[in-house]
Structure formats: C-alpha cells, structure tokens
Amino acid sequence: MNNLHDLKFNELTGRTLTVLSSTDSSLNGVSGLVINETKNTFHILNNQRKKIIPKSNCIFNFNDNSESINGSILIGRPQNRLAKVRKL
C-alpha cells in the first residue's frame, strides 16, 4: 500500500491506526488495532481497551506509513467503499 488511493479502497480492519491530529485533543496520538469499522467510526483495541474513534475531524496514519489520510475521505460504509471499481 504505497499511496492514499490504495488505502481508501482497501480493508482497514486488522491494521494499526494512529491518530495524528484531531479536534478532540484527548484522541491525539492514540493508536491501536482496528477491530471494527462503521460508517462514521473506527473501533480500535488500545491497551486491552476498546476505543471508538470518529472518522470526521481526524487525520490518521495506518501501519506506520509515511503518508497520512484525512478521515473525512474514509467516511462511508466500508462494504460500499470496498465495492467501488478501481480504474487501472
């Protein structure tokens, strides 16, 4: 996964997520394993505790990639995002 285009069309469950910045300062720097994804949130496992992170107003990094992605790009049902046809 080398670019953001690939990231927004792939399964995100099972990846490590880090919140780089958020309008909610308590979420800045939070990281964990994505265990579920809904239309507007990520459910992550952080230190054996489940946390719900909103997609909007957050900037994420997945699997310690050098690139970050704005959460507003990821808003939507995961099954609909995965079903979109990619043009090659």
pLDDT-derived band at 71 (thresholds 50, 70, 90) equals: very high
Mean pLDDT, to the nearest integer, of 65-76? 88
pTM for the model stands at: 0.83
Domain 4-83 fold: SH3 type barrels. (2.30.30)
Residues whose CB falls within 8 Å of the CB of residue 10, separated by 6 or more in sequence, listed in order: 1, 82
Query: Domain coordinates of the chain in residue numbers?
Result: 4-83
Q: What percent of the chain has pLDDT over 70?
A: 88
Q: Which amino acid is at 22?
A: S
Walk across the sheet containing 31-37 and list its strands: 49-54, 41-46, 31-37, 16-22, 58-62, 69-70
Q: Which amino acid is at 12?
A: L
CA angle 40, 69, 32 (to 5 degrees): 70
